Amino acid sequence: MRGYYRHTKIIVSLGPATESREQIAKLIRSGVDMIRLSMAFISSAQVGEIVARIRQVSSEVERHVAIMLDLQGPEMHTGVLDHDVDLQFGQEFEFFTGAPTPGRQGVWVNHPGLPGDVSVGDSILVDRGSIRLEVTQKEAYRVCCVVKTPGTLGSCKNINLPGITPDLPPITDADRDYLAQGVAAGIDFVALSFARQPKDIDELRALLESHGSPARIIAKIEDQVGLRNLDGIVAKADGIMVARGDLAVEIDDHILPLVQARIVESCHAHGKPVIIATHLLESMVSSPRPTRAEITDVTDAIKSMVDALMLSTETTTGSYPLECVTVLQNILESVEPKEQRRLNEAMRLLTPKSKMLRSAAVLAQDLDRSGIVVFSRSGSLPYILGALRPRSVPIYAFTDVDAVFRHLLLPWGVEPFLMDFSDDPEITIKNALAYLRRRNWCDPGTWLVVITNALAHGAIIDTIQLRQVE
């Protein structure tokens, strides 16, 4: 068996620095497990071509990756300004959704419902929270404010309303167009920005089903409203992303690590994958080496047993995208083998089959240099096994369904393989073990815990078997 088996997955975002065939090939060879497409860099018209490019390059390098489409969601932002505006402390400024007030300084906002969402005394944060204003008065088409934190306001800057649920649809018309193009191209995951309520997940799920798409939903927790409804969102979604950029704007900086830990704990309890995103290696946008603080941040995320680490600006417009992936690989190889945590005991196991999987995980951990082999056409069993977090135990998941194969590229510790199944379970098991031996995943003599069905007097039963690689 290979000396080091990586459990935590790596996700990169595609942008001008990485969208060429050459760069995609290098990223895939470097060990990337998933590629994220964002509306900020890839238009709906480009989605089909980009997805096809990734699939073709994956086939050429003989290593496949999953593709995640990141919907922009109900983002509020300011309009275009003729020139940047320097806002001073105590200065009056307005946000308008109709015609501007003559003689008063202000900027147009893309959300017509803003006056109805805010109250006098509320804060409005602009440009990732670098500028803060306080509402002093509101009318039908404008909100009057006073500047509390000064700064320079440019065109098309995002707006946050801490603690307020804006009257915005969870999925915009632009999102629907983007999603339709992604589904037609065959994307594997959809990230829903600003997931605020469980029903937001239901709406996206219904939309995917109407398109006939099996794509799984990753809910992004980015504001206080999403945090208030966290457990309900985790229960509904297929996975969670801790989107620390907007989230850090919504809450006090010093409690962000506590909030991140809370989200991770909720995902562990529900057995759902969790992705840590934003500012993992931000200094490497322009530097070939990370800061010590960034190394510690990544290490802490790994030690908390998250499923995946995601790079954003580092690989969209950064100068050292491949170096960033190498840094993550190096940290993972240093940290993961030294982790001695027990199985995930926070996860609620409600069925006999899930408890059987826990027994398989315990057995595999007790065996020396073992692994788990599982067969699945839905992906549910490998997802549960990954959520159990058996340390130092590879989870070899075999499926004969293309979409499920790519879905299994996300959960912790799962290495998926696409293979035809025989009608005879014994033949399927032997084919899987022979494949692992042939591709050097396992050495001869290795004991593996195999989870499969077996025929007993005409009945199909679930079994845990011990098999030795020949």
Same domain, 80 and 144: yes
Same domain, 395 and 375: yes
Last residue of a domain, one of 335, 368, 399: 335
Q: Which pLDDT value is given to residue 340?
A: 80
Task: Output the domain CATH number for residue 180.
Answer: 3.20.20.60
Same domain, 200 and 307: yes
Same domain, 155 and 186: no
> Residue 229: inside a domain, yes or no?
yes
Range of the domain at 438: 352-468
Same domain, 394 and 368: yes
Task: Output the domain CATH number for residue 453.
Answer: 3.40.1380.20
DSSP state of 109: B
CA distance 456 to 462: 10
Sign of CA dihedral 128, 133, 139, 141: negative
Residue 457 confidence (pLDDT) above 80: no
Same domain, 182 and 285: yes
Mean pLDDT of all residues in 56-63: 97
> Residue 459: inside a domain, yes or no?
yes
Residue 316 sits at φ, ψ, to 5 deg, of: -85, -50
The pLDDT tens digits for 103-140 are 889 999 999 999 999 999 999 999 988 999 999 999 99
Using DSSP bridges, classify how beta strands 459-468 and 447-456 pair: parallel, antiparallel or unpaired.
Answer: antiparallel
Domain count, the chain: 3
Same domain, 287 and 199: yes
Q: Which pLDDT value is given to residue 431?
A: 97
Same domain, 366 and 435: yes
Last residue of a domain, one of 335, 360, 384: 335
Task: Output the domain CATH number for residue 119.
Answer: 2.40.33.10
Q: What percent of the chain has a predicted confidence (pLDDT) above 70?
A: 99
> Residue 344: inside a domain, yes or no?
no
> Residue 42: inside a domain, yes or no?
yes
Residue 168 sits at φ, ψ, to 5 deg, of: -130, 145
Q: Which pLDDT value is given to residue 460?
A: 76
Last residue of a domain, one of 284, 303, 335: 335
Adjacent-strand bridge partners of 468: 447
Residue 455 confidence (pLDDT) above 80: no
Q: Which pLDDT value is given to residue 342?
A: 85
Radius of gyration of the chain (CA): 24
Mean residue pLDDT of the chain comes to 94
The pLDDT tens digits for 257-310 are 999 999 999 999 999 999 999 999 999 999 999 999 999 999 999 999 999 999
> Residue 346: inside a domain, yes or no?
no
Amino acid at 233: I
Same domain, 69 and 80: no
Using DSSP bridges, classify how beta strands 158-160 and 76-77 pair: parallel, antiparallel or unpaired.
Answer: antiparallel
DSSP state of 78: B
> Residue 129: inside a domain, yes or no?
yes
The pLDDT tens digits for 199-253 are 999 999 999 999 999 999 999 999 999 999 999 999 999 999 999 988 988 888 8
The pLDDT tens digits for 166-183 are 888 999 999 999 999 999
Same domain, 146 and 14: no
Residue 301 sits at φ, ψ, to 5 deg, of: -65, -40
Same domain, 263 and 404: no
**3-state DSSP assignment of residue 68:** strand
Mean pLDDT of all residues in 425-436: 95
> Residue 341: inside a domain, yes or no?
no
Q: Which pLDDT value is given to residue 167?
A: 84
